[in-house]
Structure 1
Amino acid sequence: MTLRRQLFVVICSIFFIILAGLLLLSISSTKDYLQQQLASHAQDAATSLSYPLAAALAQNDKVLAEVQVASMFDRGYYQKIEVRAADGKVIVDKEMPQQFAGAPQWFVNLLPISVQPGEAFITSGWRQLGKALVLSQPSIAYAHLWHSVLAICGWMLAAFVVALVLTELLLRMILKPLKHIEDATLEISSKRFVQIGVQPKARELNRVVRAMNFMSRRISEAMNAEAARAETYRREAYVDSVTGLDNRRSFDLRFNQLLDATTEFQHGLLITLELDQIKAFNNEFGYGQGNQLLSSVARGAQEVMGDYAAILSRSGGTSFTFLFLDADEDLQIAVTGALQTRVIQSIADNKGADKVSFNVGCTLFRAGETGHHVLARADLAVERARQARRNGLAFVKTDEQEITSAGSHSWRTIIEEALAHNRVGLLLQPVVTLRDGVMVQQEVTSRLIDAQGNPITAAMFMPMALRHQLMPNIDQAVISQALAAMRVGSIAADVSVSLNVTAQSMASGEFRSWLETLLRSIGAEARRLSFEVSEFGYSRDLDACASCAALVRKYGAKFGVDHFGLDPEALKAVRVLTPDFIKLNGNLVREATDSASSREHLRSIIRLAASLDVPVTAQNIESEAVVNMLQVDHVTYGQGYYFGAPTPLP
């Protein structure tokens, strides 16, 4: 129950008790007043009746006495009138049953009115002739008391309702800052250090708000400083100082990651741009002018391709390499044509660069190919462009890349049949603590099995699965099979299980609904599960990742980022949506062993993760030297062939 609701209940209870007490006091006072009025009424009647009765009794005229009593009794305000002689003998006795008209019987039983008789002596001179006794009829008193109670209850109920409304409005106004404090607390717990904009008038709440804002600001500043430091080291290690594009080291790492099928794409387009006669230009105008020309070309390329390209790099002294994923043929033609036009303009804008020319070579590639084969085709395309004409453009394709509609349909059939017959093979690779080698997690990867029993690797089936929107089906099959293995004990019960989920699946509403139903059905077992998304999907579709992260965390599972550290957008994304863990890119880990700048970049990522309280796992560990280096840099967990290769699920 919220604080506002608790205060509301307490205040309402106190107010109700006060009103109930006032109601009881009012009823009691009214009842006492009516009893006094009935007694006074009876006494007045007895006194007024004693004078005419004195004459009748003095004459011993019983009939006259009865007439006098009847004349008063018939008015209906009396329950009983009795006349007694001096010796106590009853002379006249008029009585009417007690009446309760005007009030319900339960009310009469709940609040009985005590009726006191009135008495008056009948005298003649100094001689006592008898005594008159009068008992009032209480029906009028009950009716009056009943209507008084109804009126009082009505007014008090109206007052209670008004008080409730005013109390609710007042509490909302006074405690409104608490809602902002609660929201800010939830944001801070999610590693988003926001500021509370409301300044409450209540001194205590105002102090709480100022303290929270100060704490959030200090932590946020520390996080921003750490993120800026990490970005600085990244730029030093992987950004070309002249053009601001990725350098050759960054391109090689990120390109090899793509080819390892850790990123979800169907096909890629590699564009290589080479400038000719730049050496002569430098000799004539100086290297400063040459760098200005290179920078101008880079800016032009960014303007043309910045919204589409996955990688923009300066891969050599006069060479640029640009990479697109899943670009259709129309986009390829439009982008390459616009690039030609923009580079011609950039060269023309630089004085004396009229002799500088360029050539653009393009080639398609797929996951699973080797990097040097793709780059060799790109070099061939550049050479063909150079031989064709000045500022030329050429494409080089292979039969393997020219996927016909029949081939695409065949792949779809293979994948759907494998799923229909549950031919999904799972492999497990351990994640261990670097300090003592204790296994804490098993990462699950998958492969399909064709009808002949041959394995189909992810690099082979993933592009076609993505094209036909089948990745949600594959991910569902892998998750279901992993849970089945957990139930039968094929996966150790004391370790968590990490499952890879593609960005295509996370963006699917049907997949998220299925996943929520599954997590709800397995109950506490969900706490053993961790779901990983690739760094590429994480930084490119943050909204889908946020929805998926909120979903799995709702049931106690964790959400992490795989192959982290190379994409420049990922460092920004980690502040917006903080994962529960990250796994460092294996290429980055290997690079850090030989490059001081790469290691500083690695350390900056580790420090940023530590400041966000995010555990770090290093991937692709293959030697004890790497383990020692990572321990020095305070990495807690490791994964790689040094600890165990992926093995089929038993």
Structure 2
Amino acid sequence: MTLFRQIYSLLFSLFLLVVASLGYVQFTETQSFLTKQMESDLNNASTSLGLMLTPALEAGDTVAAETLVNVIFEGGYYNNIKLIWMVDGKQQEWNNPIKIDDVPQWFINLNLFKTIKKESTITSGWLQLAQLEITAHPGFGYHELWRIMSNTLIVFSLLFLVAIFTARLGLTWILKPLNALSEHAKKIAARQFGPDMPLPSTTELKDLVTAFNSMSAQLKHLFQSLDEEVGSLRKKNLTDPASGLPNRQYVVSRLNGWLSEPSSGALFLAKLDWLEEVHSKYGYQVRDETIRLLAEKLVQQLNEITPSVIARIAAFEFAFLVTDVEHDQISKYLQTLIRTINQEISKAGCKPNENFAIGVAERVGQMKVSDILAQADNALQKALKDNKTFHWFETTEQQIFTREQWRDNLSHAISNKKFKFRWQPIQFCNGDGVTQRELYCQLELGDKLTHAGQFMPYIELLSLGSLLDKCLIETVYEQKLLERNYEPLAINLTHQSLSDSQFHQWLNHFLRNAPQVERMCFEIPEAGVYSDLESCTRLCNIIRDNGAKFGIDHFGRQFGSMSYLQGLRPSYVKLDQSFAYYDEASHNSELCRAIINVAKGLDIQVIVTGIQEKAQLERFNELKTDAYQGFIAPPENIE
């Protein structure tokens, strides 16, 4: 029971006790007063009637005596009058039944008034004439007692209602600071640190509010410190100081994650020897400033084509990782890269199309990091040897379909729900079983099974992401996949769905009417959060309000603050696969530990991804991660 209800119940009980006591006192006093009044009236009537009857009794006039008694009896205040003549023993009796108007019979049946009777002897000198007995009628007492108590009850009821209503309003106002303090405490427990509470006027609560404000400020500072520590470690270990771009270590970790999951794209290696010419002419300070300006232009121009990883991996070498794109978009990216480099070469006073070369290696089939690095480096060396601006590593693999063919095939597959599913168990680190299963989709085109890495770039390119997500969510329910296991089922949302307001409305309506929605999990890529936090917040609120869960995928991959976690409040985060290869001896271990601490500090479940063997998993034991995912427990076909 809440404190408000406890105090309210206490006041209710005390007021009820006071009202009952006052009612009891009023009732007994009124009853006693009416009894005495009836007794007094009975005495007066007995005396008066005795004096009136004396002449008639002396004369033996029965009719006159009866007439006198009738006058008194007809007043209705007497239940019974009995007159016994002493001369001959004659007895006369008058009775009035107990019937009282405007008084409930149950009240009369309570017998609140005892029988009041008065006996007297009528004499004349020493001579006894008659015996008179009068019994009072209780009607007057019941009528007056009922009227007084009814009025008293009405007044008390009105006072009771007014007092209770006033007490409720008063308690609400008095306890308002305490309620606000309770809500503030809940937010602190949920790691939501808002502005400080204003100090209440209640003296007893001031110290408590001050203590809570101090605790909230300290916890907020602690989280900010963890976030700043992550930023500092990223800058120290993964950022090139001259250009502000990621360094070689970051590129290698991203390559590991990229090649371990279905995707497409290409790796560019660029050697910019003209920077050495700038160095020899103007010194290292001008060279470093030129590198910084070049980096800004590369990020600005290339990210307009497609999001990519741009890194400085050596003094005059840069790497460019482009993911989830088709061949034509890679060509457009290459053209923009060459144009941007030539613009900066001209600004530096050097000749365009000279003293730089680019090697391009496109991802095909199953590749390792060493494979694609070797291909890109071979292409770079070939371009340098042939004195060309670029060389594209030749591949014998042909495109499966043209863009229009992809559009037709994917549109048909989405309309007719032709996708097939596999799922991968995500297991608790303590061995307690499976926490959830992640869903993967495949597409059968002709007699060949196409995996997501082949068609997902075209899903994004052709703006079919929202349609695909709707199709997959509906298919999950149509095939009753949620009933196959007790574990929640995780579905990855595309970038287009994150910012599509129509998809938001559709998902809200669908989840509101769907059964077992608590078993649904939706995964949002961290890159999508950074690109459109407002839309992601609206989508996450829809998911949470309908009882489903959501998590952040590729957690820790992006450069930037992790303060978004406080606003989104995901149920879990999936650590980026690049951290699966961390080693205690490497600088990456400090960053991995700090990123995990940020999520754990907000009571968010942390899932490690990319686990291939037990030795990898054991390195995460001391970091207190919750679950793991990887080919140590590979995806399974759904029968």
Report the TM-score when normalising by structure 1.
0.75
The answer as to whether partners of 2:262 and 2:454 remain within 8 angstroms in 1 is no
Count matched residues. 604
Find the counterpart in structure 2 of residue 31 from structure 1.
31
Q: Equivalent of 2:562, from 537, 548, 571?
A: 571
Indicate how the Cα distance of structure 1 residues 119 and 623 shifts in structure 2: closer, same or farther if over 3 A, else same: closer
Find the counterpart in structure 1 of residue 456 from structure 2.
462
Q: How far apart in 2 are the matches of 1:430 and 1:41?
A: 95
1:587-606 equivalence runs, <5 A: 587-590=578-581, 592-593=582-583, 596-606=586-596
Aligned-residue offset at 1:588 = 3.2
The amino acid of 2:444's aligned partner reads D
Q: How far apart in 1 are the matches of 2:514 and 2:88?
A: 95
Q: Which secondary structure state, in structure 2, belongs to the residue aligned with residue 571 of structure 1?
A: coil
Indicate how the Cα distance of structure 1 residues 568 and 461 shifts in structure 2: closer, same or farther if over 3 A, else same: same
Q: Equivalent of 2:574, from 580, 583, 608?
A: 583
1:386-401 equivalence runs, <5 A: none
What per-residue deviation string (whole Å, max 9, x for no partner) do you get for residues 189-245 of structure 1? 433244661545556655554444444333333222222112211122223323434
1:87-486 equivalence runs, <5 A: 89-90=89-90, 92-110=92-110, 112-194=112-194, 197-200=197-200, 205-206=205-206, 208-247=208-247, 249-250=249-250, 253-254=253-254, 277-296=274-293, 298=295, 310-311=307-308, 313-315=310-312, 317=316, 353=348, 404-405=403-404, 407-417=406-416, 419=417, 424-428=420-424, 431=427, 433=429, 440=434, 443-450=437-444, 452=446, 454-465=448-459, 467-468=463-464, 469-478=467-476, 482-486=481-485
Aligned-residue offset at 1:458 = 1.1
Indicate how the Cα distance of structure 1 residues 315 and 71 shifts in structure 2: closer, same or farther if over 3 A, else same: same
Indicate how the Cα distance of structure 1 residues 481 and 132 shifts in structure 2: closer, same or farther if over 3 A, else same: closer
Q: How far apart in 1 are the matches of 2:306 and 2:190?
A: 31
Q: How far apart in 2 are the matches of 1:516 and 1:271?
A: 46
What per-residue deviation string (whole Å, max 9, x for no partner) do you get for residues 489-539 of structure 1? xxxxxxx56523315667634435544655548x8xx4xx76544333455
What per-residue deviation string (whole Å, max 9, x for no partner) do you get for residues 372-413 of structure 1? 79989x999x99xx999xxxxxxxxx9969965564133210
Find the counterpart in structure 2 of residue 395 from structure 1.
none
Aligned-residue offset at 1:157 = 0.9
Indicate how the Cα distance of structure 1 residues 399 and 40 shifts in structure 2: closer, same or farther if over 3 A, else same: farther
The amino acid of 1:648's aligned partner reads N
The amino acid of 1:472's aligned partner reads K
Q: How far apart in 2 are the matches of 1:342 and 1:26?
A: 101
Aligned-residue offset at 1:247 = 3.9
Q: Which secondary structure state, in structure 1, belongs to the residue aligned with residue 557 of structure 2?
A: coil
The answer as to whether partners of 1:618 and 1:639 remain within 8 angstroms in 2 is yes
RMSD (Å), alpha carbons: 5.0
Aligned-residue offset at 1:147 = 2.0
> Gaps (5+ residues) in structure 2?
390-396
Report the TM-score when normalising by structure 2.
0.76
Aligned-residue offset at 1:462 = 3.0
The amino acid of 1:640's aligned partner reads G
Aligned-residue offset at 1:167 = 1.4
Indicate how the Cα distance of structure 1 residues 645 and 324 shifts in structure 2: closer, same or farther if over 3 A, else same: closer
What per-residue deviation string (whole Å, max 9, x for no partner) do you get for residues 122-166 of structure 1? 232343323433334433333322221221111111111111111
Indicate how the Cα distance of structure 1 residues 152 and 255 shifts in structure 2: closer, same or farther if over 3 A, else same: farther
Tell me which moved more, 453-462 or 151-160.
453-462
Q: How far apart in 2 are the matches of 1:73 and 1:342?
A: 127
Identity rate, percent: 22
> Gaps (5+ residues) in structure 1?
389-397, 488-495
Q: How far apart in 2 are the matches of 1:262 and 1:574?
A: 27
Q: Which secondary structure state, in structure 1, belongs to the residue aligned with residue 490 of structure 2?
A: strand
The answer as to whether partners of 1:45 and 1:118 remain within 8 angstroms in 2 is no
